[in-house]
Amino acid sequence: MRTLTLPIQTERLCLREFQEQDLASIIAFSGDARVTRYMFFGPRDEEASRDYLDGVLDSQSERPRTRFELAIEHTATGRVIGACDLSMIEKGVMDLGYMLEHASWGMGFATEIALALTDAAFFDLNAERVISTVEVNNRASLNVLEKTGMRWEATFRKSRRAKNRWWDCHLYVLARTVWELEQETRATH
């Protein structure tokens, strides 16, 4: 089984394993109702943030590892500004997700993260498909996924019940063959 090469460095970010000392940052971004508006959870209080971090730290030692939940560290400041993940749904299929603190919205970080995780899924994990499900009203995340080359494949009505309501979600997909063509196009330009 292949594994993710960590940390993943982008132009402005470091995607790295979470550490115990990241708890305060997790409480700050995942406790913000604006950040968790389109998430199935949250906002998280201190106890829920601690449970989340404990689960993430436990998952780091699993073998084979099927979940890579990573801290998003802003390289210039060293601050953790969010979380992102790649999770194996089934053999060859990786699910991509991310959340950023509100102060970091609109700066292109989400696109930077999604591109880096997509490349890592295909390069390191030998994925055949990268998918992401997004609440139908989350226009900002839909735009990010489209910028990474992912395309709408389906809409799931009442796909999940959370926060006292049913959620409709779009499924976005990027196949390895499409990603490889995009890599070739980037290389020739």
* Residue 12: other Cβ atoms inside 10 A: 12
Quote the longest CA-to-CA distance of the chain: 50
Q: What is the pLDDT of residue 188?
A: 82
CATH number at residue 55: 3.40.630.30
Is residue 47 included in any domain, yes or no? yes
User: Residue 13's pLDDT is what?
Assistant: 98
Structural domain containing residue 139: 8-188
At residue 44, the 3 state secondary structure works out as: coil
Is the residue at 3 inside a domain?
no
Output the tens digit of pLDDT for each of the chain's 189 residues: 678 999 999 999 999 999 999 999 999 999 999 999 999 998 999 999 999 999 999 999 999 999 999 999 999 999 999 999 999 999 999 999 999 999 999 999 999 999 999 999 999 999 999 999 999 999 999 999 999 999 999 999 998 888 988 999 999 999 999 999 988 887 887
pLDDT number for residue 187 = 82
pLDDT of amino acid 99: 97
> Is 116 in contact with 15 (CB distance < 8 Å)?
yes
DSSP 133-154: EEETT-HHHHHHHHHTT-EEEE
CB 129 within 8 Å of CB 92: yes
Report the relative pairing of strands 8-9 and 93-100 from DSSP bridges: unpaired
Task: Examine residue 2 and state whether it is found in any structural domain, yes or no.
Answer: no
Q: Is residue 127 part of a domain?
A: yes
pLDDT at residue 1, rounded to an integer: 63
How far the first Cα of the chain sits from its last, in Å, is 34
pTM: 0.95
In a domain, 63, yes or no: yes
Confidence (pLDDT) at 160: 87
Domain count, the chain: 1
Neighbours of 22 (CB within 10 A): 19
Contact (CB, 8 A) for 84 and 113: yes
